[in-house]
A and B are shown apart, each in its own frame.
Chain A
């Protein structure tokens, strides 16, 4: 988990301070250094326009993290609210919410994301919407289960007997006691969101060139695989490192917060 946290900090730092860290602006073209091998002039080499691959990888962290943070935050908010409502209100609410969530569970996640993004048209916001739609049902389910178990406990009955309203009981008393698996799931989903964003970018459905994203850099690099493989190698390493870092944090958090899982 510590290793994961260190890597994650480096990646977040890259995204936040890209301007200061990157040796060149991401779209600066240098026609004297076209498809230059990694070396002293350009640590990760340059691409077909002479753009510095290292700088683009650093700036690419912004898109990945922005999409992952926004989509997972939205999915946790909406999914959490739906799961809490379904679990606590029960009855018709539970039934209706579950039925709708089942619809989203009926298609494989990645296909759902690709389908939604393709229908909306390429763009960063499409990726955010797509990933939010994929993860909302999951968070609803992760929230609902523990809420169902918790609402039957005596302390909830006691608070209700003291006259607390349903909303107060749900948010103030119930929610804090069911958050652990939810947060663990959030970290795991975050790493997967980075992976899905990269896939969408690779398919040309997220950030559009010349804005650098790890996925679209890989897509661009595909054509120059034989002459300039470094264009494809480094963004891939960046994606893998980011996903690995958040997976490690997720695993560590699970051991601490949710040891029974």
Chain B
């Protein structure tokens, strides 16, 4: 409960911060719409400002927006005339799918790599994995994306479809489009997960119950997968969950590189267009998603390991 209260307070602070920051930036939607060279009478400019409510004092504009939010009304986009909720819901599936697939890629690559690295410590495979994870943490997402496109299109003569199709219309085509972006987005997380898995597995493999399990004649496979991994999984799942939040931020770049119609690109477009209601509400929406993911990870952590239940 305390956590929820604190979340609400943070969101209120964020709403004020975003609202004020947007208004500190020179140029409003009116100037954007008119353009630099157009000759428009001051009366027309004033009329447009009145239309968008920009003639009101800032605290009143803020109050109206927040009052709307409390009723679930995120406002109407100035540049498209559509409700912000509709625009967000239209693009939410793309970002959610991209994030989920990226986390899946990261886990599929990261966990086995970490296990392999830990069980063959200081051997060639361990060293290769460790160098690989460092490279994975250092590679810029957009460059990786560009290189993958280059590799697939020029050397393999295969290009993923350009026009985006949602999963339910054509799952096969959708997954073909999403595979490369998800792989790019998930690379750094895979490296993080591999590192955590390695560290946790090394920790667990040192414990006495593992020695006991091995001593009673169980095969390595059973000891590692059934006894060790089960206990090492708690921090790994936590890291994977937290990565999901971080990846949500990374989608803004990946969506731009692969021209995917997600929320990240929507925010960027809204900022460039000085579309205040769309920018403010979308950023707040992302913050809610981000905080909810982190809260869920905390709760899940407590559930998986009752020793560390959140006390507040």
Which chain A residues have a beta carbon within 8 Å of chain B's beta carbons? 99-100, 102-103, 106-112, 114-116, 118-121, 191, 195, 198-199, 202-203, 218, 221-222, 225-226, 229, 232-233, 235-236, 239-240, 243-244, 247-248, 251
Contacts and interface: CB of A to CB of B under 8 A. Distances in A.
B135 A225 contact: no
A108 B143 contact: no
Interface of B: 6, 9-11, 13-14, 17, 21-22, 25-26, 134-135, 137-143, 146-147, 149-150, 153-154, 245-246, 248-250, 252-253, 256, 264, 267-268, 271-272, 283, 286-287, 290-291
A103 B245 contact: no
A119 B250 CA distance: 18
A100 B138 CA distance: 30
B140 A199 contact: yes
A160 to B, nearest CB: 31
Residues of B contacting A: mostly: helix
Contacts of B252: 110-111, 114
B139 A108 contact: no
Nearest to B130: A251
Contacts of B268: 114, 118, 203
Given A195-B138, A202-B253, A240-B138, 9 more contacts: A106-B11, A108-B246, A110-B250, A114-B253, A115-B283, A199-B142, A225-B154, A232-B147, A236-B143
Contacts, number: 122
A218 B19 CA distance: 33
27 contacts: A99-B9, A102-B10, A103-B13, A106-B10, A107-B283, A108-B249, A108-B250, A109-B246, A110-B253, A111-B248, A116-B21, A118-B268, A118-B272, A119-B21, A119-B25, A191-B138, A195-B140, A198-B142, A199-B141, A202-B142, A218-B146, A222-B146, A229-B154, A235-B143, A236-B147, A239-B143, A240-B139
Contacts of A233: 147
Contact of B150 (A100, A120, A202, A232): A232
